[in-house]
Amino acid sequence: MCRRENNDLSGNDVVQSFITGSGSFPTFASLNSQLRILVISLLPSTISDPKNLGTVLHFIYLREGMGGGIRQLLEQVHRLSRRCLFRVLSMGPLPTHLAFIMDGNRRYAKKRGLEDGSGHKAGFSALMSMLQYCYELGIKYVTVYAFSIDNFRRKPEEVQSLMDLMLEKIKSLLDKESIVHEYGIRVYFIGNLGLLNDQVRAAAEEVMKATAKNSRVVLLVCVAYNSTDEIVQAVKRSCVDKADRDVERIQLVDIEENMQMSVAPEPDILIRSSGETRLSNFLLWQTGNSQLFSPDALWPEIGLRHLVWAILNFQRSHSYLEKKKKQL
């Protein structure tokens, strides 16, 4: 096992050990062919030269140590590669707000013969990874469609199972080691929370209170939500604010101020997984100028490449969309 005190190795020494198998450094030969390709492909072309590979491996060796073996090696190479990729992406315009319709959790579980609920658990992991990427890219707002009002029409046992899973995952956000605290994420739960059971609603309110002072990233979780309900509730609140005699004087701005989603700007990109192109009553008011992206991957299969592709498409048409917004 390698130790941090062995810091007299040069980059060439490390890469030689990695390739030839000398010393205690994990060897290139110890990886199967797929992992070998992965190690190299994760590196941007600017550092794919073998000499630079030695420098990268040496950096990983000194900074993190290699006690964890091959898995840690791949994680560090992936992190370095991602940092370089995001630096390139940041040379162009980046979205401020991404919205996701997390579609395909049940199909994911069925396709793999998994038990009920496994797809949603895998979907939660995909969401945590996506939040990490957004944080690293500097994307301020992320909105996810977690549970529609229409989902209450499903079988009672399925709804209860989803509520139990939701309660578990909401409570996990309160853990000190959770991504919410690590990245300074403020969480809002958007929707008709009165439709949730007491435990889930109380947990949601606790998370919102606990993260109220966070400001680096804002996560909006739409639960017990659909867009028509949000609009109706906003109109009702606008009428109350204006009083009966002033109802006819209600302006567009009055309704927008009473929308629950008014805490965030309109989404720049709306991503719906599983290849579907329907909005499914999600953010109808806010997505008139949003770009739509519908990768074929089911939500638990969503990864970095899908996010990068969506941002590249956004950058390609950004100038045109900005001109159209100014004309409105």
| Domain residue spans of the chain | 11-86, 92-327
Q: What CATH architecture is 92-327?
A: 3-Layer(aba) Sandwich (3.40)
The larger pLDDT score, comparing residue 265 to residue 61, is at 265
- C-alpha–C-alpha distance, residues 180 and 127, integer Å: 12
Q: Specify the pTM.
A: 0.78
Give kind and range of the element (H or E) at residue 185: strand 185-190
Which candidate in 8, 13, 49, 103 is catalytic?
Answer: 103
pLDDT at 8: 44
The larger pLDDT score, comparing residue 53 to residue 160, is at 160
Q: What does R_g of the chain's alpha carbons equal in angstroms?
A: 23
- Nearest CA to 105 out of 156, 151, 167 is that of 151
pLDDT at residue 321 tops 80: no
103 is catalytic: yes
pLDDT at 58: 53
pLDDT at 134: 95
Q: Which residues of 35-69 are buried (b: 16+ CB within 10 A; e: fewer)?
A: eeeebeebbbeeeeeeeebbbbbbebbeeeebeee
The larger pLDDT score, comparing residue 223 to residue 17, is at 223
Model confidence band, residue 14 (pLDDT cutoffs 50, 70, 90): very low
pLDDT at 144: 98
- Please provide the average confidence, as pLDDT, over all residues in the chain: 82
The answer to which of 58-62, 218-222, 236-240, 254-258 has the lowest mean pLDDT is: 58-62
Mean pLDDT, residues 255-279: 96
